[in-house]
Amino acid sequence: MFKFVIRRLLQMVPVLFIVITLSFFITRFAPGGPFTDEKKLSPEALNSRNEYYGLNNSLPVQFAHYLGNVIRGDMGPCFQYHNRTVNDVIRETFPVSFELGCWAMIYALALGLVFGIIAALRPNSLLDHLPMAAAMTGICLPAFVLGPLLILVFGLWLGLVNASGWETATDRILPAITLGSVYAAYIARLSRSSMLEVLPMDYIRTARAKGASELRVIVFHALKNAAIPVVSFLGPAIAGIITGSFVVETIFQIPGMGKIFVTAAFNRDYYLLSGLIVFYAALLIVFNLFVDIMLVWLNPRIKIEA
């Protein structure tokens, strides 16, 4: 396991180098620049700003300087947030996005597993059709549709929660539901199909024959093997939750990394945009590594080399 983790961490190096290279040059090749929307900016002032940030140098020189700073852990300055670096912005906004992602994942896992288990225990019945119909509805409704609908109903019509913001505990409810509903639907369908395969197996019948309660059979015997496809899905699910927060944080005005990413793209903030992309890529690699370790723990028959 130790060699496996070290090998995967070493594989991060070329992947992150490719991400850094692509993010750097794609942002530079985009039309406009970080100071094109400045009003009443003289050519002398524009040239002074470009010289201060090193934008007058050739692209290879800028890339070499940026790569050296990233290796040292310095993501560079921010153009739109004066006196703050990219590291400062990530340090301030990442806890918000991380909390939102955790609540969304908890909601998706809880709702998806419960719906999937209930549907598997009563196949082809009303308790099967209703959860699967709800799951299909969750798959068909994207976040930019579900979010405004939840705001309209629970925020404006009923007045139960705030329509936007990140101040109170209730402000987490609608964004977490919006972000996690699609993944709850996929988890429900995956867990249902997995449970239907596991429940007829011999060791489940043996556990029931020994007098184990139905709850114990489901939780301690069936769910461990049935959860393997769900855990495999968590890698891309976490990636989708992180990237999906762009839309959700913009809709609900949440001061997280997703909203900052959208603002940086509109303002052509080179360093902030590239820094967020690199940070997201590193997070996804770490999360996928964690999922692989969980798979080996759940099923020791899965070889680490595979």
Residue 234 CB neighbour total at 10 angstroms? 22
Residue 28 has pLDDT above 60, yes or no: yes
Over residues 285-295, the pLDDT tens digits come to 888 888 878 87
Residue 141 phi/psi, 5-degree rounding, is -95, 110
Over residues 50-97, the pLDDT tens digits come to 888 888 889 999 999 999 999 999 999 998 777 889 999 999 999 999
Per-residue confidence (pLDDT) for residue 233, from 0 to 100: 87
Residue 38 has pLDDT above 60, yes or no: no
Whose structure tokens read 């005005």?
Answer: 253
CATH architecture classification, 93-298: Orthogonal Bundle (1.10)
Six token digits for residue 234: 């968590």
DSSP 186-202: HHHHHHHHHHHHHTTSH
Over residues 195-211, the pLDDT tens digits come to 999 999 998 989 888 88
